Structures are given as C-alpha cells and as structure tokens.
Amino acid sequence: MGKQKYTEQEKKDVFNREFMPYVDSMYNFAYRLSLDQDDAKDLVQDTYLKAFRFIESFEQGTNAKAWLFRILKNSFINDFRKKSKEPSKVDYQEVESFYNSDEVDHPITTDLRDDTVKEMMGDEISNALNALDVDFRTVIILCDIEGFKYDEMAKILDIPIGTVRSRLHRARNLLKEKLNSYAKKMGYL
Amino acid sequence: MESEKLPENSDAHHEHSSNCNGTITCKDCLDVLDMVIDQEESPTEAFKQHLKDCLPCLEKYNLDKAIKEILHKRCNHQELPPGLVDSIKLRIFDNAGS
C-alpha cells in the first residue's frame, strides 16, 4: 500500500473526520487495558499523536477504528506495559501455554445461568473482566465490547484468526469462572 | 508456539452428544457456538434444531449470549476526562502549524 499525499489542511480534515469520532472507544479501550485513568489519558493522547504523524500511511475509507486500535495496543505493549505501575507478572507466551495446557481444559463446571448474569451489576462484570490477564481481557474488549470481527482482531493483535478464536474461547471460560465466583460470593447462586 | 486449535472436549456436557436426537452433535454445536454468537457465522437449521433438542447446549448458548450482551452494555462507556479532546487537537494542530 502506497503512502497518501495530503496537504496540511487535508491532514487536519482526515484527522477530524476519520479519527476523532473514535475518541470515546479509544479511551474506553485504553482504560480497560491500563486500568488507570491517567495512563489511559496518556495512551489516547500518544495514540492520536502517532496517528497524525503517520497519517499518510492511512488509506481513507479503510477501517480507521481498527487502525487506531492497533496503534493504541502497540503503544500499550511497547511503552506502557514496561513502565506500568502493575507490570505484567508473566510473559505472555507463558500465559498462553499455561492456558493451552490440559490444566484449564478441564470441563467448566459452573452453576451460572443467563438470568443470574442479567441480574449482575456493572461493577461485578467490570471487576471480573479486569481480573483477567491483559491478553485475555483484550480479546473480550475487542470482540464483545467494541464489536470487532475476528479478521479485524487478527490484524489489530497481529495474530492468526485461529489464535483469535482459541484465545477468545479461553478468555470466556476464564471470565465465566470469575463470574461464577462473584455470583457465589454475592449470594446469587 | 500458540495453539490455533480450539480445545477438544473442553465443555462439561460433551458427553451428552449421544443422547441428542438433532442432526448435529453437541461437539458440532459447541464448535460453532462462539462463531454464531459473534455473528461470524449464521446458525444453520441443524444448529437451531440442536438447541431446541439439547437443554445443556441451549443453556450454554443463552449464558454466553447474555455475558456478551451485558459486557457490551455495562463496560462500553468510560467517561472521557474533561479537556482530553481539546488537548489532543491543541498538541497536534499547534505542532503541525509551527
């Protein structure tokens, strides 16, 4: 894909028209990744600065939201995770291989039902989501909260679609276990 | 290396497959359940029939769908810090103009 040529005014127009409408989603994504309001704010600012700097690599009419999310995710991994107040405790590969092991492929025994979930408050859902390892959290945010398709997620995360599916499947099982524990603790079950 | 395969027999009621009279088994159903819920695939008639015939699969479908919907509804909005949009534009357009 070739670079676009824009005048300064065109750059501003593209930026305002194609990028700024996603600022709410971007902030929500940044907050759910970093779990810190100040970090989320910095992350969104950094992402928009990078997006403007590389605006000539963006092809108008293509998926701006996915393009921005990819930049934000990379900024989070490269810049934020390293200096994060709560550094990633384990290397991602280790996490994935652990969760790919038989240990988590045990049958999911949950008493959770759809009507129990519907009764839960936002905080309980949010806490369960936030308690997941960031890589599992990310696929749920992208798919269930932001509504990205698997192929878009594959591009944002730089992983094959098959890995998107398997990671999502495991993330959902882990989330269900968390929700099940919350439901028991809160007396729903 | 990351596995690209979905786990086999990862759900509690796979063993029900022989008890169901639908044209697909529980395993077939569960293999596409995520895809159907995520609207990556349209549910086939056999899939729909299986959900009518198999309570555990129907319950799993309803639970997974409910979780997806509640995540979208309850975790979709984080209030923007005041001044964030202005500060982004100021930093970018001031720098661009200078």
d(CA A100, CA B1): 10
Please report, for residues A13, A21, A61, the alpha-carbon distance to residue A9 in angstroms, rounded to integers and kept in the order given: 6, 18, 18
For residues A58 and A4, the answer to whether their CB atoms sit within 8 Å is: yes
Residue B67 within a domain = yes
Q: Please report which residue ranges of chain A form alpha helices under DSSP H.
A: 8-14, 23-34, 37-53, 64-75, 81-83, 92-100, 114-119, 122-130, 134-140, 150-157, 161-185
Query: Domain total for chain B?
Result: 1
Q: How confident is the model at residue B2 (pLDDT cuts 50, 70, 90)?
A: very low
Residues of chain A with pLDDT under 70: 1-2, 82-109
- pLDDT > 70 fraction of chain B, expressed in percent and rounded: 73
Residue B89 within a domain = no
Residue B24 within a domain = yes
Q: How confident is the model at residue B87 (pLDDT cuts 50, 70, 90)?
A: very high
Q: Does B66 touch chain A (CB under 8 A)?
A: yes
Q: Does B41 touch chain A (CB under 8 A)?
A: no
Domain housing B33: 7-76
Top-level CATH class of A92-185? mainly alpha
Give contacts of A44 with chain B, Cβ < 8 Å.
84, 88
Residue B68 to residue A144, Cβ atoms within 8 A: yes
Residue B98 within a domain = no
pLDDT at B38 (0 to 100): 98
pLDDT at B98 (0 to 100): 44
Q: Does A170 touch chain B (CB under 8 A)?
A: yes
Supply the ipTM of this predicted assembly: 0.83
Residue B65 to residue A114, Cβ atoms within 8 A: yes
Domain boundaries, chain A: 8-83, 92-185
Does the domain at residues A8-83 carry the CATH identifier 1.10.1740.10? yes
Give contacts of B71 with chain A, Cβ < 8 Å.
125, 129, 140, 144-145
Give contacts of A94 with chain B, Cβ < 8 Å.
none
